[in-house]
């Protein structure tokens, strides 16, 4: 059971999308889990064959619980001796022959004593690393897998722990938002900056860009904001990453959590991956897809877990300025207010110009206002050269 | 110009002497303080803690009592209720059971049942523990039983510094306090920083820092545990030794901080294992730090028999540093 | 296409975009974005959907003519005739 939110403790398995013996590859959706943030599709991060399904539909299990086991690609093969022992305790002998009778016979054949021994902290860490414990050799008391074993296995597999754990929500979303935002305001010393930016050039360019295009290919101003915000993060990597356990770790990529308001209340910020590297057209289609699925409840776990920063855009019916609350453990939130027509001084003259207020809420434990100011200046600068976005 | 002042050299004294200094300080400081107990006056106390005090303070304040723990503890409770600050000595914890009714049903309950109209600022000192070849009537460690009782403060000084200053702190507490002095500590010598004039009664202290395993103990087992930690260090295992100092209230915070750091824990307690304070500590760790643990919780406790008289049997019944070190090594580096 | 057909079409497409929407509450003069809580993306999707179903070309500059049912129907009728 993946952690799909900073405060998620358990989830209910509502649907299995695979069955015993199915071949799966990394990225496949294998199950649907109901969380505080709604139904989330759980993906697999390895290739192989489903060798055991451990959690039945309808069961609510804590985060970190193994939902299913994946055998190596090719079915009944190359598991090490230690692995075989551990797997045998919990797995019907062969996926192909896993008839119901076999499963019923299993409990008496596999006494509880052969359960995999794992220390509590090691189990927790393995879940964070998404490591399959069955493959790890224990060096602890009574052969238990302990922290050092998990860490060694993790570094060998060079699977970094998932950068963030993010959640999605439906009926209980309010609770989840309350928990995350309270934690944010309790723990994060926010500082706020804002910059008012003339969008004359950007919107004029966008009008031309959209002019010859079919409606489906037209790009919203929000996409320019997203791209500018993402590109500027490359210049200020200290705003892009996570503050956990007293230290900041910059993220390698820019995965922008795009705040999507749900009709009737609630907010989700699923990731637009590598937003700094996508074209405007790609960003528009990502955003369209994400908004649609966020509202339908078809987001994937990985989309909730990966944002490294959040961008919120209030749109044309929103307020003129927005100052956000950072989503921990992220360290920054960039807000775009409503575009408004305002008098603006151009070459000593006053002109009517479309103006947007761009704000930054950032974590003072990681950065200071000077750096935040440089970031906003970069966003403003990028928006003056829309053709380069 | 004054001559540069030498930093005061540390005071070196025995645990017994520290107990006596504490009593003398209390007697000098407060006329309401007096001592009661079996053989504490003319004989000087069965462990000679009060030797010389009768001559110094007189019969009114250093009172030999009949051999009736119930009577003289009861008298102490009455005196405390009446505004005195009695310090009662019980020869050994085994004998204190004769006064258990007084302690539990009177000393502890009167402040509650009188709605706070009566305080019982009574201090009871008693010897505890094994190792002196005085067999089963004199050698048990029952302080964990007393730690079961809400309303009592249970102090278990192990360091000379605590023996010297915990009594003064206890006398300021309006509630009954029991001080357990381990019999094997009386002859031990230790240094006291002359700058120290008081200690707290509430906090456990880390006596040796280490990252690999927490060894939690108190009283007479502290020095065996510190010795075990030195042995472990030679094996490349750094143990953290936590001296509880008080069994009630128990400083769970310090315990958890250490265990969360090392993720492994052994509790060393020479009392019997079943229903012991070691069991209580283990349970608190399981309740509050389960997910931090990287090894099963372990205990090194006294063997569950009445204490034998024969030296080799008595030694075999008590936690010894070899066994503590072996238990720790097994957790950190299982073979 | 008649007035009524366009009206039904627009409301149907809004319901696809915002499944929670109750078409019965729509009034001709009201801003559809307010009535059905449509944001910029929803509105862009509405234009895409109208374009797909009617094949009427709707330049971006004309988006504001689709904000109310009344103006949208008038605009689309005019464009369809043209």
By C-alpha distance, which of A344, A340, A343 is closest to A358?
A: A340
C41 and A287: CB-CB below 8 Å? yes
Whether A1 is covered by a domain: the verdict is: no
Q: What is the pLDDT of residue C25?
A: 85
| Residue B92 bridge partners (DSSP) | none
Among the partner-chain residues A215, A220, A315, the one whose CB lies closest to the CB of C58 is A215
User: Residue C40: its chain A contacts at CB < 8 A?
Assistant: 220-222, 315-316
Among the partner-chain residues B263, B290, B334, the one whose CB lies closest to the CB of A141 is B334
Alpha-carbon span B100 to B107, nearest angstrom:
10
Q: How does pLDDT run across A304-313, given as a tens digit for each residue?
A: 888 999 999 9
For residues A71 and A138, membership in a common domain is answered with no
For residues A139 and A35, membership in a common domain is answered with no
Q: Which of A138, A139, A145, A146 to mutate to test the interface with B (most CBs of B within 10 A)?
A: A146
Mean pLDDT of the residues in chain A = 81
Q: What is the pLDDT of residue B33?
A: 98
B69 assigned to active site: yes
For residues A183 and A86, membership in a common domain is answered with no
Q: Which among B69, B143, B181, B280 is annotated as catalytic? A: B69
For residues A248 and A292, membership in a common domain is answered with yes
B266-298 as b/e: b if 16+ CB within 10 A: bbbbbbbeeebbbbbbbeebeeebeebbbbebb
Q: What is the dihedral angle through the alpha carbons of B29, B35, B39, B45, rounded to the nearest 10 degrees? A: -40
Q: What is the pLDDT of residue A292?
A: 84
Nearest CA in chain A to C20: A263
C33 and A317: CB-CB below 8 Å? yes
Whether A299 is covered by a domain: the verdict is: yes
Whether A5 is covered by a domain: the verdict is: no
User: Residue A152: its chain B contacts at CB < 8 A?
Assistant: none
B295 and A146: CB-CB below 8 Å? yes
Whether A165 is covered by a domain: the verdict is: no
Cβ atoms B276, B144 nearer than 8 A: yes
Q: Which of B295, B297, B299, B328 to mutate to test the interface with A (most CBs of A within 10 A)?
A: B295
Q: Which of A244-258, B37-51, B198-212, B304-318 has the lowest mean pLDDT?
A: A244-258
Q: How does pLDDT run across B7-63, given as a tens digit for each residue?
A: 667 789 999 999 999 999 999 999 999 999 999 999 999 999 999 999 999 999 999
Give the DSSP H/E element, type plus range, for residue A15.
Answer: strand A10-16
Average pLDDT value for residue range A357-378: 96
- Is the reported ipTM for this assembly greater than 0.90? no
Q: What is the pLDDT of residue A110?
A: 37
With 70 as the cut, is the pLDDT of residue A104 above it?
A: no
CATH of the domain at A334: 3.30.559.10
B294 and A122: CB-CB below 8 Å? yes
Alpha-carbon span A262 to A172, nearest angstrom:
13
Cis before A329 (ω within 30): yes
Percentage of residues in chain C having pLDDT higher than 70: 100
With 50 as the cut, is the pLDDT of residue A112 above it?
A: no
Give the range with max mean pLDDT: A16-30, A359-373, C58-72: A359-373
For residues A204 and A79, membership in a common domain is answered with no
Cβ atoms A382, A354 nearer than 8 A: no
Three-state SS at A220:
coil
Q: Which among B138, B140, B181, B270 is annotated as catalytic? A: B138
Alpha-carbon span B288 to B272, nearest angstrom:
24
Alpha-carbon span B280 to B301, nearest angstrom:
13
Greater pLDDT, C61 or B309: B309
Give the DSSP H/E element, type plus range, for residue A279.
Answer: none
- Provide the H-helix boundaries in A255-368: 280-296, 301-305
Cβ atoms A89, A115 nearer than 8 A: yes
CATH of the domain at A92: 2.40.50.100
- φ, ψ of residue B271 to 5 degrees: the values are -70, 165
Whether A199 is covered by a domain: the verdict is: yes
Q: What is the pLDDT of residue B318?
A: 97
A141 and B291: CB-CB below 8 Å? no
Q: What is the pLDDT of residue A75?
A: 37
For residues A150 and A179, membership in a common domain is answered with no
For residues A144 and A92, membership in a common domain is answered with no
With 80 as the cut, is the pLDDT of residue B276 above it?
A: yes
With 80 as the cut, is the pLDDT of residue B315 above it?
A: yes
Nearest CA in chain B to A144: B295
Q: How does pLDDT run across A227-236, given as a tens digit for each residue?
A: 999 999 999 9
User: Residue A139: its chain B contacts at CB < 8 A?
Assistant: 334
Give the B window 288-327 contacts with A, CB below 8 Å.
290-296
Q: How far is CA B192 from CA A151, B17, B221, in A?
A: 44, 12, 20
For residue B107, give the DSSP letter: I
A317–chain C nearest CA distance, Å: 7
Kindly write down the DSSP assignment for every residue of A104-126, as one continuous string. Answer: HHHHHHS-GGGSPPB-HHHHHHH
For residues A194 and A113, membership in a common domain is answered with no
Q: Is the dihedral of CA A112, A115, A117, A120 positive or negative?
A: negative
Range of the domain at A175: 170-388
Number of domains in chain A: 3
B263 and A140: CB-CB below 8 Å? no
Q: Which of B289, B292, B294, B299 to mutate to test the interface with A (most CBs of A within 10 A)?
A: B294
**pLDDT of chain C, 82 residues: tens digit per residue:** 788 888 888 988 888 888 778 888 888 888 988 888 888 888 999 999 999 888 888 888 888 899 999 999 999 988 888 7
- B157 exposed, middle or buried (CB, 10 Å; 0-12, 13-18, 19+)? buried
User: pLDDT confidence of A6, banded at 50, 70, 90?
Assistant: low
Structure tokens at C49: 């959907």
Interchain CB contacts (distance < 8 Å): A and B: 33
Cβ within 8 Å of residue A65, ≥6 positions away? A1, A54, A55
Whether A137 is covered by a domain: the verdict is: yes
- Provide the H-helix boundaries in chain A: 81-90, 100-109, 120-129, 147-156, 173-187, 200-211, 221-235, 280-296, 301-305, 369-384
Alpha-carbon span C24 to A80, nearest angstrom:
65
Name the residue with tokens 């009392």: B271
Alpha-carbon span B258 to A315, nearest angstrom:
51
| Residue B301 bridge partners (DSSP) | B269
Alpha-carbon span B127 to B181, nearest angstrom:
5
User: Residue C64: its chain A contacts at CB < 8 A?
Assistant: none
Whether A36 is covered by a domain: the verdict is: yes
Average pLDDT value for residue range A373-378: 96
- φ, ψ of residue C16 to 5 degrees: the values are -70, -35
For residues A327 and A202, membership in a common domain is answered with yes
User: pLDDT confidence of A36, banded at 50, 70, 90?
Assistant: confident
Mark which of A62, A79, A102 sits at the end of a domain: A102
For residues A220 and A352, membership in a common domain is answered with yes
pTM score, two decimals?
A: 0.51
Percentage of residues in chain B having pLDDT higher than 70: 98
Nearest CA in chain B to A122: B294
Average pLDDT value for residue range A381-389: 92
Alpha-carbon span B115 to B19, nearest angstrom:
34
Largest CA distance in chain A: 88
B138–chain A nearest CA distance, Å: 37
B55 assigned to active site: no
Over B134-160, what HEC string results? CCCCCCCCCHHHHCCCCCCEEECCCCH
Average pLDDT value for residue range A136-147: 89
User: pLDDT confidence of B292, banded at 50, 70, 90?
Assistant: very high
Cβ atoms A153, A161 nearer than 8 A: no
Among the partner-chain residues B291, B331, B334, the one whose CB lies closest to the CB of A121 is B291
CATH of the domain at A142: 4.10.320.10
Whether A211 is covered by a domain: the verdict is: yes
Q: Does A215 contact chain C (CB < 8 Å)?
A: yes
Percentage of residues in chain A having pLDDT higher than 90: 43
For residues A83 and A232, membership in a common domain is answered with no
Give the A window 146-185 contacts with B, CB below 8 Å.
146-148
User: pLDDT confidence of A279, banded at 50, 70, 90?
Assistant: very high
With 70 as the cut, is the pLDDT of residue A96 above it?
A: no
For residues A288 and A302, membership in a common domain is answered with yes
With 50 as the cut, is the pLDDT of residue A84 above it?
A: no
A218 and C41: CB-CB below 8 Å? no
A325-359 as b/e: b if 16+ CB within 10 A: bbbbbbbbbbbbbbbeebebeeeeeeeebbbbbbb
């Amino acid at each position: 059971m993946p952690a799909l939110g900073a405060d998620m403790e358990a989830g209910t398995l509502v649907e299995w999308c695979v069955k015993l013996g199915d071949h799966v590859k990394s990225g496949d959706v294998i199950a649907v889990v109901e969380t505080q943030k709604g139904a989330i599709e759980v993906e697999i991060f390895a290739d192989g064959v489903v060798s055991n399904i451990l959690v039945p539909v309808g069961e609510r299990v804590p985060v970190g619980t193994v939902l299913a086991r994946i055998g190596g690609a090719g079915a009944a093969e190359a598991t090490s001796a230690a692995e075989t022992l551990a797997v045998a305790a919990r797995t019907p002998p062969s996926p192909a022959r896993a008839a119901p009778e076999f499963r019923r016979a299993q409990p008496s054949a596999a006494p509880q004593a052969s359960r995999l021994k794992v220390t509590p902290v090691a189990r927790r860490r393995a879940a964070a690393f998404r490591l399959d414990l069955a493959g790890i050799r224990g060096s602890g008391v009574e052969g238990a897998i302990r922290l050092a074993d998990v860490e060694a296995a993790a570094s060998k597999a060079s699977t970094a722990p998932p950068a963030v754990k993010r959640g999605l929500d439906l009926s209980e979303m309010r609770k989840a938002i309350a928990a995350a935002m309270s934690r944010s305001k309790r723990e994060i010393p926010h500082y706020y900056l804002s910059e008012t930016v003339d969008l004359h050039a950007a919107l004029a360019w966008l009008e031309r860009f959209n002019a010859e295009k079919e409606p489906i290919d037209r790009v919203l101003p929000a996409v320019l904001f997203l791209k500018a915000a993402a590109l500027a993060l490359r210049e200020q990597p200290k705003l892009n990453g996570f503050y956990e356990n007293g230290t900041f770790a910059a993220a390698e990529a820019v995965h922008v959590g795009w705040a999507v308001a749900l009709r009737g209340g609630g907010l989700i910020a699923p990731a637009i991956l590598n937003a700094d590297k996508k074209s405007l057209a790609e960003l528009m289609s990502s955003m369209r897809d994400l908004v649609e699925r966020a509202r339908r409840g078809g987001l994937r776990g990985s989309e909730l877990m990966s944002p490294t920063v959040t961008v919120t855009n209030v749109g044309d019916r929103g307020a003129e300025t927005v100052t956000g609350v950072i989503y921990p453990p992220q360290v920054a939130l960039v807000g775009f207010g409503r575009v408004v027509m305002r008098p603006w001084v151009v070459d000593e003259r006053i002109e009517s110009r479309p103006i947007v207020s761009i704000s930054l809420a950032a974590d003072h434990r990681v950065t200071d206002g000077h750096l935040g100011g440089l970031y906003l200046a970069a966003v403003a600068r990028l928006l003056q050269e829309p053709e380069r976005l | 110009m004054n001559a540069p002042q030498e930093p005061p050299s540390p005071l070196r004294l025995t645990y017994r002497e520290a107990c006596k200094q504490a009593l003398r300080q209390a007697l000098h400081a407060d006329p309401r303080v007096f001592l009661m107990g079996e053989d504490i006056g003319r004989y000087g106390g069965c462990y000679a803690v009060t030797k010389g005090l009768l001559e110094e303070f007189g019969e009114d304040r250093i009172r030999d009592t009949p051999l009736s723990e119930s009577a003289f503890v009861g008298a102490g409770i009455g005196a405390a209720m009446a505004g005195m600050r009695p310090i009662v000595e019980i020869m050994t914890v085994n004998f204190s059971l004769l006064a258990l009714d007084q302690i539990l049903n009177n000393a502890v309950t009167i402040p509650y049942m009188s709605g706070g109209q009566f305080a019982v600022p009574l201090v009871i000192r008693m010897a505890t523990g094994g190792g002196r070849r005085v067999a089963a009537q004199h050698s048990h460690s029952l302080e964990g039983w007393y730690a079961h009782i809400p309303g009592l403060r249970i102090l278990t000084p192990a360091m000379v510094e605590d023996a010297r200053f915990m009594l003064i702190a206890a006398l300021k507490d309006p509630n009954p306090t029991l001080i357990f002095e381990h019999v094997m500590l009386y002859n031990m010598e230790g240094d006291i920083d002359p700058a120290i004039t008081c200690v707290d009664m509430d906090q456990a202290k880390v006596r040796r820092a280490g990252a690999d395993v927490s060894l939690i103990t108190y009283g007479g087992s502290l020095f065996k545990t510190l010795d075990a930690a030195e042995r472990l260090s030679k094996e490349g295992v750094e143990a953290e030794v936590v001296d509880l100092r008080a069994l009630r209230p128990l400083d769970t915070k310090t315990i958890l901080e250490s265990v969360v750091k090392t993720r492994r824990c052994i509790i060393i307690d020479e009392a019997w294992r079943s229903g012991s304070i070691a069991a209580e500590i283990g349970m608190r760790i399981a309740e509050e730090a389960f997910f931090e643990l990287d090894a099963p919780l372990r205990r090194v406790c006294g063997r569950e028999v009445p204490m034998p008289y024969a030296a080799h049997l008595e030694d075999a019944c008590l936690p010894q540093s070899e066994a503590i070190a072996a238990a720790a090594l097994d957790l950190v580096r299982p073979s | 296409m008649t007035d009524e057909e366009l009206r039904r079409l627009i409301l149907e497409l809004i319901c696809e975009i915002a499944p929670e929407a109750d078409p019965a509450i729509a009034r001709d003069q009201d801003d559809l974005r307010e009535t059905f809580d449509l944001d910029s993306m929803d509105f862009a999707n509405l234009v895409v959907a109208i374009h797909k179903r009617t094949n009427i070309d709707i330049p971006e500059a004309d988006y504001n003519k689709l904000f109310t049912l009344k103006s949208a129907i008038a605009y689309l009728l005019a464009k369809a005739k043209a």
